[in-house]
Amino acid sequence: RDGWKEDSGYHRRSLAENMMFRLKQLGDRLFSRTFERQVAEAHVPVVILNGFTYLGMPRSVRAGQIAPAA
């Protein structure tokens, strides 16, 4: 089973599907009429998700070093 997941790229596809689900939870419709405003409107939830992802990432430091204060 693990070999199948690796051969088919299942893990990467699963991560992408999960991200699309989270993106749609923030709103799955565009209300603007012009393309430029639709692009800007679509960027907002992406920026929010990227911010949440960044906040949830661990801070890694080499052993023996002191991590900088946030």
User: What average pLDDT does the structure give for the chain?
Assistant: 85
- Check the CA dihedral 50-54-21-12 and report its sign: positive
In a domain, 23, yes or no: yes
Side chain identity, residue 66: I
* pTM attached to this predicted model: 0.60
Q: Determine the Cα–Cα distance for residues 46 and 19; give it in Å rounded to an integer.
A: 10
Report which residue type is found at 28.
D
The answer to whether residue 20 sits within a structural domain is yes
In a domain, 64, yes or no: no
Find tokens 């800007």 and name the residue.
Answer: 40
- Please indicate, yes or no, if residue 13 is contained in any of the structural domains: yes
How many separate domains does the chain show? 1
Top-confidence residue, 14 or 2: 14
Asked if residue 65 belongs to a domain, the reply is no
- Residue 68 forms part of a structural domain: no
**Spatial distance between the Cα atoms of 29 and 23, rounded to a whole number of angstroms:** 11
Range of the domain at 6: 2-45
10 within some domain: yes
pLDDT band at 47 (very low <50, low <70, confident <90, very high): very high
Residue of higher predicted confidence among 36 and 19 = 36
